[in-house]
């Protein structure tokens, strides 16, 4: 991971308004700081959902 990009994202997040930009902050943190974790969590959520047992 490039430290420069990480510092730029941190500065971008610090300039956002937590009240109005909370979803963007969450996406930036989740997507760039924890991409592997988020991918695994989404896989578990989809595989354990009631829709995953429906045959097409």
- Reduce the secondary structure of the chain to three states and give it as a string: CCHHHHHHHHHHHHHCCCCCCHHHHHHHHHHHHCHHHHHHHHHHHHHCCHHHHCCC
- The predicted structure's pLDDT at residue 56: 54
From 56, 52, 7, 49, select the one nearest 32 (Cα to Cα): 7
Q: Token pair for residue 36?
A: 């592997």
Mind listing the pLDDT tens digit for each residue in 13-45? 999 999 999 999 999 888 888 889 988 988 888
CA distance 13 to 9: 6
Whether this model's pTM surpasses 0.85: no
């Amino acid at each position: 991971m490039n430290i420069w990009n990480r510092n730029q994202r941190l500065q971008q997040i610090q300039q956002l308004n937590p009240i109005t930009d909370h979803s963007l902050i969450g996406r930036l943190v989740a997507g760039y700081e924890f991409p592997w974790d988020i991918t695994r969590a989404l896989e578990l959520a989809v595989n354990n959902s009631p829709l995953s047992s429906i045959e097409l």
